[in-house]
Amino acid sequence: MREYLKFYINGRWVDPKTPKTLDVINPATEGVAGRISMGSAADVDAAAKAARAAFATYSQTTVDERVALLERIIAEYKKRYADMAAAITEEMGAPVALSQNAQAAMGVGHLQTALGVLKQFHFSEPRGSTLIVKEPIGVCGFITPWNWPVNQIACKVAPALAVGCTMILKPSEIAPFSAQIWTEILDAAGVPAGVFNLVNGDGPTVGAAISSHPEVDMVSFTGSTRAGIEVARNAAPTVKRVHQELGGKSPNIILPDADLKKAVTAGVRGVMTNSGQSCNAPTRMLVPKAKMDEAIAIAKAAAEATTVGAPDSGAMLGPVISATQWDKIQTLIQQGIKEGATVVAGGPGKPQGLEKGYYVKPTVLAKVTNEMTVGREEIFGPVLVMIGYDTVDQAVEIANDTPYGLAAYVSGTDTEQVRKVASRLRAGQVNLNSAAVDMMAPFGGYKQSGNGREWGDHAFGEFLETKAVLGYEPKPA
């Protein structure tokens, strides 16, 4: 059993100000996998002061010095890669292959991307006699989720380190093991004392303390829209920058000319990956009504071919993160049925033979309308809803009829039509015909899916202030 009872503050592993622990549950077994200490406002205060003190020197480091630091972190990460993947499997039940090939891979991917951007980034630009300078914003507070744990840590920490910021991280208390490994990696790489600090704890205590602390210049939060509102509310009195990556109910428009089998199968797979626990999952599949019966048959086959089992069993899907999440998913499936949706595959209850662990059946609900609860609320589980449309204009209207705007998907064979539909969708990232992941593509949402962007060079801007130095180039005598 893992025991991570110390916090990382000012370059040292320290005891919490007030001892309090929390059991971490392995969702695949429902057993206790470890314990962590739960922090307080006093722990956050110590971390914030350490980060503020470190900012004075770290913000003045050269690009070459920060390049060298990122290179050392990458080298240490690669040494601990297997440990990181194992931690993710244990804390959130991700299948071994997913942890190794995707979850842990995103950590090193963001580090390498930040390194590449840093080597080419221009922190100043002359405009006539004025110099426009980009400077690190200061102390950053990071509050990260459990669903892609190291991905969300890395896509915040890597660019912040690259531009010269210092920081405090509060990972999810539900899945904190990967953050511990991450912190050990940064310590081994020689990150200067106070530049990176780790305080475990819950949102109402540690998260709120980070969001409201006067020494924290910006807070970056990834999680539910409900929690994001609280972060912004807590941050408002100190007028700090607030960056949010929140919920989604992403539409997946399958155009009339699309390869139906390919598009529907890919859409089902996109929802089921990571047990449906991805904020950008294509959870609303929009299909021409004339092709709905055929699409339902394809979706049913794809869902029923999706295996569910223990993380080390070779199954495609593991459990969802917790009993609370399992209950929420079951309630929403039942609500969908009550409101008139048809269960095409899966449905309520646990898969046969998997009574222990928070396993959910890969579920497809058809005959859904955009007014139903399951058509509007983020389920955050392996549940796809299928919605019919008569015209492409109607499909676009349905797609945009949501408070969210994180991602959208379009499939079709007419490239110009696919692009035209994409241009009408109110979402921060639109994927055409199952395009591959692009580590340089900005990630973030419209509307209640948040503000700001992560990933690639766009992430750098979130951690920079703009200074105009007038008269930098004196006029000729």
Q: Do 382 and 338 belong to one domain?
A: yes
Q: Do 327 and 237 belong to one domain?
A: no
Residue 39 belongs to a domain? yes
Count Cβ atoms within 10 A of the Cβ of residue 56 and give its class: 0-12 exposed, 13-18 middle, 19 or more buried.
Answer: exposed
Q: Which pLDDT score, from 0 to 100, does residue 476 have?
A: 78
CATH number of the domain bearing residue 154 = 3.40.605.10
Return d(Cα 279, Cα 431) in angstroms, integer.
Answer: 14
Return d(Cα 234, Cα 44) in angstroms, integer.
Answer: 14
Q: How many CB atoms lie within 10 A of CB 353?
A: 9
Q: Which pLDDT score, from 0 to 100, does residue 103 have?
A: 98
Q: Do 11 and 103 belong to one domain?
A: yes
Task: Say whether pLDDT at 462 is over 80.
Answer: yes
Q: Give per-residue pLDDT as tens, 94-104.
A: 999 999 999 99
Q: Do 17 and 90 belong to one domain?
A: yes
Q: How many CB atoms lie within 10 A of CB 340?
A: 11
Q: Give per-residue pLDDT as tens, 164-214.
A: 999 999 999 999 999 999 999 999 999 999 999 999 999 999 999 999 999
Where in the sequence is the domain holding 283, given as residue range(s)? 251-439
Whole-structure pTM value: 0.96
Q: Do 191 and 274 belong to one domain?
A: no
Q: Structural domain tally of the chain?
A: 2
Q: Which pLDDT score, from 0 to 100, does residue 475 have?
A: 80
Residue 181 belongs to a domain? yes
**What is the average pLDDT across 371-388?**
98
Residue in the structure block whose two tokens are 């139906």:
260
pLDDT confidence tier of residue 280, bands split at 50, 70 and 90: very high
Q: Do 258 and 168 belong to one domain?
A: no
Map residue 103 onto helix, strand or coil.
Answer: helix
Q: Do 29 and 11 belong to one domain?
A: yes
Catalytic residue status for 465: no
Burial code (b: 16+ CB inside 10 Å, e: under 16) for 368-385 equals bebebebbbbbbbbbbbb
Catalytic residue status for 245: yes
**Spatial contact of 381 and 325, defined as CB atoms under 8 Å apart:** yes
Structure token digits, residue 296: 């339902």
* Catalytic choice (140, 155, 165, 279): 279
Return d(Cα 55, Cα 341) in angstroms, integer.
Answer: 54
Q: Do 256 and 215 belong to one domain?
A: no
Which residues of 93-222 form beta strands (DSSP E)?
124-127, 130-136, 139-143, 166-170, 196-198, 218-222
* Catalytic choice (245, 377, 378, 462): 245
Q: Do 232 and 98 belong to one domain?
A: yes
Structure token digits, residue 415: 């490239």
Q: Give per-residue pLDDT as tens, 40-96.
A: 999 999 999 999 999 999 999 999 999 999 999 999 999 999 999 999 999 999 999
Q: How many CB atoms lie within 10 A of CB 175?
A: 28
Task: Say whether pLDDT at 426 is over 90.
Answer: yes
Q: Do 258 and 217 belong to one domain?
A: no
Q: What's the longest Cα–Cα distance across the chain? A: 86
Q: Which pLDDT score, from 0 to 100, does residue 270 have?
A: 98
The closest of 374, 376, 368 to 340, measured between CA atoms, is 368
Q: Do 206 and 287 belong to one domain?
A: no
Strand order through the sheet with 31-37? 2-4, 31-37, 21-26
Q: Do 266 and 233 belong to one domain?
A: no
Task: Please give the mean pLDDT across all residues of the chain.
Answer: 97
Residue 475 belongs to a domain? no
Return d(Cα 213, Cα 139) in angstroms, integer.
Answer: 10
β-pair partners for 216: none
Residue 477 belongs to a domain? no
Q: Which amino acid type is present at position 281?
A: A
Q: Give per-residue pLDDT as tens, 101-139.
A: 999 999 999 999 999 999 999 999 999 999 999 999 999
Instruction: Cite the DSSP H helix spans in 345-472.
Output: 373-376, 392-400, 415-423, 456-462
**Spatial contact of 392 and 425, defined as CB atoms under 8 Å apart:** no
